[in-house]
Amino acid sequence: MGGRGSKIGTCCWESSHKTTLPEAPHVENEENCEETDLLSFREYTLEQLKIATSGFALENVVSGDGEMPPNVVYKGKLENHQKIAIKRFSRFAWPDPRQFLEEARSIGHLRSNRMATLFGCCCEGGERLLVSEFMPNGTLAKHLFHWETQPMGWEMRLRVVLHLTEALDYCCNRGRTLYHDLNAYRVLFDEECNPRLSTFGLMKNSMDGNSYSTNLAFAPPEYIRTGRTTAESVIYSFGILLLDIFTGKHIPPSHALDLIRDRKLQTLADSCLKGQFSDSDGAELVRLASRCLQYEARERPNLKYLIDALTTLQKDKDAEVPSHVLMGRGTFVSALSPFGEACLRKDLNAMLEMLDKIGYKDDESVSFLWTDEMQEAVESKKKGDIAFRQKDLKEAIEFYTQSL
């Protein structure tokens, strides 16, 4: 396993073999986007972000792994109704505002549909915040470890890891060789359920960059030795993600490698994936993970190698299937207008307020009739709930039928 890895060289980001790859489909207008990117990145005021998050209210915290400052992330909505995600750093993480702004701007220039776009930042007083587009369909961790309706299928899992390597390769090509603390919470899903890499991980948690927020059982060996991460550390973290994908669990890499050495692949595999992949495909994914988890950084594969290997695992028939279909239509969230969202919530007050603002007039008798019917439906459902709790199933069915 170490022999072939030794040919790769000391930097895992450089390709060690001559492979003709198709032009990256995920980078749009890469050559001509520098000036546009600079203009599109903006600085927000602290007041704007306070309003967007209702004063950084606790109910707007979306840090999926329970992180606290300096890693807390909020969801919010700007005055133009655009949904955003905001990462708020600890007060003294970046004492030099110019250095923080320079770092944020360099990340804000990145534009790829494999990544969540960084819209801007806030550098006001002691506050340091990043503002990114909001991904409405949750994190990879949610769909792997905490799924509610159905688990993620094999083909979608392969799409996730391939898109992730392409995102990391794009960052590398733009001079961003370090991604800090890569994990399942950093992989997000947009409104069409396409996997996107969070740009927040490109920004160090502090000016010195020494922090590593995950459990040390999952930290790269070189971080344990030196307290620093390198480009090869990103490959190690990617190997852990491959294990997450295959097992459906977040297990320490040392334990996983013991199972791999004992050839207990069936013990490792997520039981939800039974019958969805061949033994050879499963073995190949585990082989890639074990190579990424090599103790010596120089023996880990590079991104070009991983892209080649993961592309080979993809099935041609699934390449054109939309992500929301592979994920299951129940997880698909379309981009709705504010009025559409009010309809989805059945918020009559908000709907009537919006209609009133645009001067819409309706026949009063029809409006009252519609409101009365809605009220009757709500009352029927309440009665059905009461009957159901009392185990009067016949009456519950009758009331639920009336409600429908």
User: Is the predicted pLDDT of residue 367 greater than 70, yes or no?
Assistant: no
Q: Are strands 42-43 and 118-124 parallel, antiparallel or unpaired?
A: parallel
pLDDT of residue 392: 83
Instruction: Determine the pLDDT at residue 39.
Output: 46
- The reported pLDDT for the residue numbered 374 is 65
pLDDT in tens, 55-110: 999 999 987 544 454 568 999 999 989 999 999 987 778 888 999 999 999 999 89
Of the chain, the percentage scoring pLDDT greater than 90 comes to 47
Higher pLDDT, 331 or 339: 339
d(Cα 344, Cα 373) in Å, to the nearest integer? 18
- Kindly report the number of other CB atoms within 10 A of residue 228's CB atom: 12
Q: Are strands 83-88 and 42-43 parallel, antiparallel or unpaired?
A: unpaired
CA distance 104 to 130: 7
Under a CB-based contact definition with an 8 Å cutoff, are residues 83 and 75 in contact? Answer: yes
Q: Average pLDDT, stretch 313-320?
A: 81
Rounded Cα distance between 199 and 84, Å, is: 13
Question: What does DSSP assign to residue 242?
Answer: H
**CB-based contact 145:65 (threshold 8 Å):** no
Active centre residues (catalytic): 181
Share of the chain above pLDDT 70, in %: 77
| Superfamily covering domain 2-11+32-331 | Transferase(Phosphotransferase) domain 1 (1.10.510.10)
Which residues, in sequence order, are bridge partners of residue 112? 27
Q: Which tokens is 274 given?
A: 């039974």
| Digit-coded pLDDT (tens) for 254-268 | 888 888 887 777 778
Sequence-ordered strand ranges (E) for 106-265 = 118-124, 127-133, 187-189, 195-197
Q: What is the CA radius of gyration of the chain?
A: 24
Nearest CA-CA partner of 296 in 212, 256, 236 = 236
Q: Is residue 14's pLDDT more than 70?
A: no
Residue 214, Ramachandran bin (φ over 0: left; ψ between -120 and 50: alpha; else beta): beta
- 220 pLDDT exceeds 70? yes
**Structural tokens at position 316:** 């041609």
pLDDT the model gives residue 371 = 53
In this prediction, residue 261 carries a pLDDT of 81
For CA atoms 324, 329, 331, 336, the dihedral sign is: positive
Distance CA 207, CA 262 (A): 43
d(CA 265, CA 31): 44
Residue 4: the pLDDT is: 37
Identity of the amino acid at 124:
E
pTM exceeding 0.75 = no
Structure tokens at 404: 């429908």
231-247 and 279-292 helices, crossing angle to 10°: 150
What is the per-residue pLDDT for 377? Answer: 74
State the Cα–Cα distance between residues 305 and 165, nearest whole angstrom: 10
Average pLDDT over residues 296-301: 95
Q: Closest Cα to residue 232, out of 12, 16, 15?
A: 12
Asked if residues 166 and 307 have their Cβ atoms less than 8 Å apart, the reply is: yes
Higher-confidence residue of 48 and 11: namely 48
Going from N- to C-terminal start, the domains of the chain cover: 2-11+32-331, 338-403
Q: In this structure, how many other beta carbons lie within 10 angstroms of the beta carbon of residue 262?
A: 9
Where residue 373 falls among pLDDT bands split at 50, 70, 90? Answer: low
Q: What is the pLDDT of residue 346?
A: 65
Q: Are 312 and 21 in contact (CB under 8 A)?
A: no
